[in-house]
């Protein structure tokens, strides 16, 4: 049985993401593990001296109580089977603990929420999700706080054609297979030279031929002077339920993920994203 790790800070946003995780878990027949990470307040935040050990004890107890309340709320909202839920409370830095826990429990997916960047807290939450996305070995679902919760029927995989896209596309199909969703693979490029365009189209055709017998997938090459704008326009016309991206250190998407991807698709389109490593 698969395992989905859901980090939570007990906010409405993380509760929203947990509902999305519950939907995925039901379709994938997966267990859900909730994780909350707590830390000791800075000494400067308190006018009096305090005992760190005492704060650790109280902090853990408080986190465990709040996590149980969060879990109860989740069960009430989703009717998810309580026997398929586990709870973990950890002390430390959020992103690091999410990665460590995902590795320890061998999570198949991480599902976490994100917000816009309207204030300092929102920026911090966004930074945490970006760190997890870049560090996680397992695929990560990032759920905007205004994303609709429904079974996705269309997945858009934005391929950069920089590495083995046949392997990557197989991985996307494997991840979304339980969802019974159609997959569109699109490559956005800003090349206008005829020779380069022919090379790009050749790569897309080769990729298409590798999946010629699969009726649930199609391929598209789009030429645009700005890759982000091109992808954004294609999203508006295709209207996918999920945007899938391969995150590698040398990939185009990895380089622009912090700014452009977050701004355009998470904040503006409220489009859930599925990121993965090849």
How confident is the model at residue 204, as a pLDDT?
86
Three-state secondary structure of the chain: CCEEEEECCCCHHHHHHHHHHHHHHHHHCCEEEEEEEECCCCHHHCCCCCCHHHHHHHHHHHHHHHHHHHHHHHHHHHCCCHHHEEEEEEECCHHHHHHHHHHHHCCCEEEEEECCCCCHHHHHHHHHHHHHHHHCCCCEEEEECCCCCCCCCEEEEECCCCCCHHHHHHHHHHHHHHHCCEEEEEEEECCCCHHHHHHHHHHHHHHHHHCCCCCCEEEEEEECCCHHHHHHHHHHHHCCCEEEEECCCCCHHHHHHHHHHHHHHHHHCCCCEEEECC
Structural domain boundaries in the chain:
3-144, 154-276
Q: Tell me the CATH architecture of domain 3-144.
A: 3-Layer(aba) Sandwich (3.40)
pLDDT of residue 265: 57
Residue 45: per-residue pLDDT? 52
What is residue 117's predicted lDDT score, i.e. its pLDDT?
A: 45
Q: Do domains 3-144 and 154-276 have the same CATH topology?
A: yes
The confidence score (pLDDT) of residue 125 equals 44
Provide the CATH topology of domain 154-276. Answer: Rossmann fold (3.40.50)
Q: What is the pLDDT of residue 122?
A: 43
Q: What is the mean pLDDT of each run of 10 residues along the chain (278 residues)?
A: 95 94 96 90 50 73 95 96 97 93 98 64 56 90 90 92 86 93 90 74 88 86 83 90 82 51 58 88
């Amino acid at each position: 049985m698969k395992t989905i790790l859901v980090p939570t800070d007990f906010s409405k946003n993380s509760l929203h993401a947990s509902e999305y995780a519950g939907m995925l878990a039901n379709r994938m027949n997966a267990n859900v593990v909730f994780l909350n990470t707590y830390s000791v307040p800075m000494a400067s935040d308190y006018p009096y001296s305090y005992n760190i050990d005492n704060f650790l004890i109280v902090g853990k107890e408080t986190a465990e109580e709040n996590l149980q309340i969060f879990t109860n709320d989740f069960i009430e909202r989703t009717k998810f089977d309580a026997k398929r839920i586990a709870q973990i409370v950890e002390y430390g830095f959020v992103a690091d603990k999410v990665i460590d826990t995902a590795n320890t429990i061998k999570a198949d997916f991480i599902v976490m929420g994100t917000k816009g960047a309207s204030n300092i807290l929102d920026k911090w939450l966004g930074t945490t999700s970006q760190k997890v996305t870049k560090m996680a070995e397992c695929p990560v679902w990032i759920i905007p706080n205004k994303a609709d919760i429904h079974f996705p029927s269309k997945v858009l995989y934005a391929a950069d054609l920089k590495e083995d896209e046949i392997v990557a596309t197989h991985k996307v199909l494997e991840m979304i297979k339980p969802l019974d969703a159609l997959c569109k693979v699109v490559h956005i490029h800003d090349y206008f030279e005829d020779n380069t365009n022919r090379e790009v189209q050749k790569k897309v055709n080769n990729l298409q031929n590798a999946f010629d017998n699969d009726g649930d997938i199609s391929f598209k090459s789009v030429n645009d002077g700005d890759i982000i704008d091109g992808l954004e326009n294609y999203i508006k016309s295709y209207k996918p339920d999920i945007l899938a991206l391969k995150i590698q250190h040398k990939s185009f998407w990895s380089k622009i993920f912090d700014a452009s991807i977050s701004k355009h698709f998470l904040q503006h389109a409220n489009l859930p994203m599925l990121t993965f490593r090849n």
